[in-house]
Structure 1
Amino acid sequence: MAGPLGVSLAPYIRSSPTLSKLFTPVAKWYAGGSLYRQYGLLYDDLLIEERPEVQKALSRLTPRQAYDRQFRIKRASQADVLHAPLPRDQWTTPEQDVRYLLPHVQAVESELQEKAKWDNLDVKRK
């Protein structure tokens, strides 16, 4: 996922041992401070569903993944209504926080880019 300018610095930071060593603790602190894990959510549960790419990616999930996602969202919504995070044993751990939807979103985005190239193909006669 790219930032607001459409460019991600993540590959550059990961390739540099010094930058990786500097930014990894900050990234872990930020992820822990965002509180979504205290409500049992995964990072991909927070993606904006109204985007067409995410809608298509959601349709590609297995029935089990879709069910688990809806369960996490409903459980987090209930905890939010009660103004209380889940018990600590139900929090999402960093090891469990796997990007399950991102590969589908990236595949959809690349398909849309390829479709746009074919749709705008300029055919010339010889």
Structure 2
Amino acid sequence: MPGPLGVSLAPYVRSSRSLYKFLKPVANWYANLSGYRKLGFHYDDLLVEERPDVQRALTRLTPRETYDRAFRLKRASQASVQHKELPKSEWIKPEEDVRYLAPHVLSVAKEDQERAVWDTINVERKK
């Protein structure tokens, strides 16, 4: 997903093997430091649900993905109420932390861009 300036450096970092090898441990360290995996969250669980594109993307999840997301949110809420982290066996491992919602958000954004193009098209009559 693009950054705040609408530009993503991710493709460049992935294409450079040495840069990827340098930045991957830093990225893992930062993800572990943020603590969302200790509460059982996936990265996409942290997306702001009030955004219209995320709302539409959530409707495109399979029933199993919807159930799993609701379970993770309730479990993290309970851990927060108890002021405890989940047991280490229930933490999300980095290899399990896959982007399940981002593809849907990107497809919604592409559809919105296409809709904007079609909505603003100028049709001229042939003379």
Partner of 2:51: 51
Distance 2:26 2:57 in 1: 30
Summarize the alignment of residues 107-122 of structure 1 with structure 2, pairs less than 5 Å apart: 107-122=107-122
Displacement after TM superposition at 1:125 (Å): 2.0
Alignment partner, residue 19 of structure 1: 19
Q: Deviations over 1:11-37 (max 9, x none)?
A: 011101121111111101011111000
Aligned length: 126
- Residue aligned with 1:103, SS: helix
Alpha-carbon separation, structure 1, partners of 2:92 and 2:27: 16
AA aligned opposite 1:55: Q
Partner of 1:9: 9
Matches of 1:73 and 1:6 in 2, distance apart? 29
C-alpha offsets along residues 74-108 of structure 1, whole Å, 9 cap, x if unaligned?
Answer: 10011011111000000000111011111111111
TM norm structure 2: 0.96
Percentage identity across aligned positions? 63
> What is the root-mean-square deviation of aligned Cα atoms in Å?
0.8
Unaligned runs of 5+ in 1: none
